[in-house]
């Protein structure tokens, strides 16, 4: 069984970015911030500053964060 950190790293290598919603729905990761911090501590370079707007299930505009893998250590 793969760890959440490894699943997240593989996702980032494949797609280049992740949102909290994707992490939860596609990867089963509830604590995305913690997993991103672990990857950064391992030496991976991740940009967590991008914000984007989406509509929620009620049709309201809301802001979400998107993290990008800049450079993987391994």
Give the whole-number percent of the chain exceeding pLDDT 90.
86
Domains recognised in the chain with CATH numbers: 4-71 (1.10.10)
pTM metric for this prediction: 0.87
CB 64 within 8 A of CB 21: yes
Which pLDDT belongs to residue 27?
A: 97
Closest CA to 38 of 4, 74, 1, 2: 4
Which pLDDT belongs to residue 16?
A: 96
Asked whether the predicted pLDDT for residue 39 surpasses 90, the reply is yes
């Amino acid at each position: 069984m793969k760890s959440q950190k490894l699943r997240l790293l593989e996702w980032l290598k494949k797609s280049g970015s992740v949102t909290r919603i994707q992490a939860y729905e596609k990867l089963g990761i509830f604590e995305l911030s913690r997993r991103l911090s672990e990857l950064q501590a391992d030496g991976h370079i991740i940009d967590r500053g991008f914000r984007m707007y989406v509509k929620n299930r009620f049709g309201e505009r809301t802001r979400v964060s998107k993290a990008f893998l800049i450079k993987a250590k391994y």
